[in-house]
Amino acid sequence: MGDDEEVKVFGMWASPYSRRVELALKLKGIPYEYIEEDLSNKSALLIKHNPVHQKIPVLVHNGKSIPESLVILEYIDETWRNNPILLSQDPYDRAMARFWAKFIDEKILSTTRKVSFTTGKEQEHAIEEVTEQLKLLENEVKGKAYFGGEGIGYVDIVANFLVFWFGNLQEALGINIFSQHKFPFIFEWIQKQLKIDMVDESRIPKDKHLTYIRTRLAAFKSASK
């Protein structure tokens, strides 16, 4: 990579989508400028770089904007071909990796939002749903050191939300869906992930995160009264 490469990430410290992009760049050793966005007051630059969704994360590489975290991850892997290679060259393995990444985003993280923002029977139902979804992921990592191949890859990065973010969320919510007892293989995978410097370094500050989640939940509750 040359000296004239300019990489920027518009992100938000508590967002698992934002964190996964930073993790990929860190793992590949790509220097970048990080711009923290206040989601209640989005910057003109963010809106310029992601006019369609106006969301974080956005990667800007030499002035070219790429939104959507999964699109960004593939772009990073295709642009910077050094180790770790995130996606296999084999089309079937790639299809499986994309399948599980999509499952994590469209099912697990989506249901997790329901768990956070509903109460009573609706929340109970969402908790059951996400537990079933996590079981499928547990089955996928069973007997493997990583979701992909011989080292950290695309699905491990997408599943990074399980390493810090999900545990903090359930603590703030006062629930216990996700435990070593119920998900021994995912927990084993987490231990291996924590041994990777860049993963450990991308730890979300726990107290700050708990406070943030509690504030958001309280705001949501009072807004929905």
Q: Given the rule CB under 8 A, which residues bind another protein?
A: 52, 61, 64, 66-68, 70-72, 74-75, 78-79, 91-92, 94-95, 98-99, 102-103, 136
Distance of CA 25 to the CA centre of its chain: 13
Q: How far is the CB of 8 from another protein (least distance, A)?
A: 15
Q: For residues 44 and 92, which CB has a smaller minimum distance to another protein in the complex? A: 92
CB of 133 to another protein, least distance (A): 9
Pick between residue 13 and residue 75 the one whose CB is nearest to another protein.
Answer: 75
Report the alpha-carbon distance of residue 135 to residue 164 in Å, rounded: 18
**Dihedrals phi, psi of 135, to nearest 5 degrees:** -65, -35
Q: Which is nearer to another protein, 27 or 70 (CB)?
A: 70
Q: Does residue 31 have a cis bond before it (omega within 30 degrees)?
A: no
Q: How far is CA 40 from CA 19, 20, 47, 131, 216, in A?
A: 19, 21, 13, 31, 12
User: Nearer Cβ to another protein, position 52 or 223?
Assistant: 52
Closest CB 36 distance from another protein, rounded Å: 23
CB of 64 to another protein, least distance (A): 5
User: What end-to-end distance do the CA atoms of the chain give, in Å?
Assistant: 53
Judged by beta carbon, residue 70 or residue 177, the one nearer another protein is 70
Q: Are strands 64-67 and 33-36 parallel, antiparallel or unpaired?
A: unpaired
Q: With respect to another protein, which residue has the nearer C-beta, 105 or 171?
A: 105
Long-range contacts formed by 176-184: CB under 8 A, 24+ apart: 177/115, 177/127, 177/130, 177/131, 177/134, 178/134, 182/131, 183/134, 183/135, 183/138, 184/138
Work out how close the CB of 195 gets to another protein at its nearest, in angstroms, rounded to a whole number.
29
Give the nearest distance from C-beta 89 to another protein in angstroms: 9
The two three-digit tokens of residue 198, written as one number? 């860049």
**Residue 172 CB neighbour total at 10 angstroms:** 18
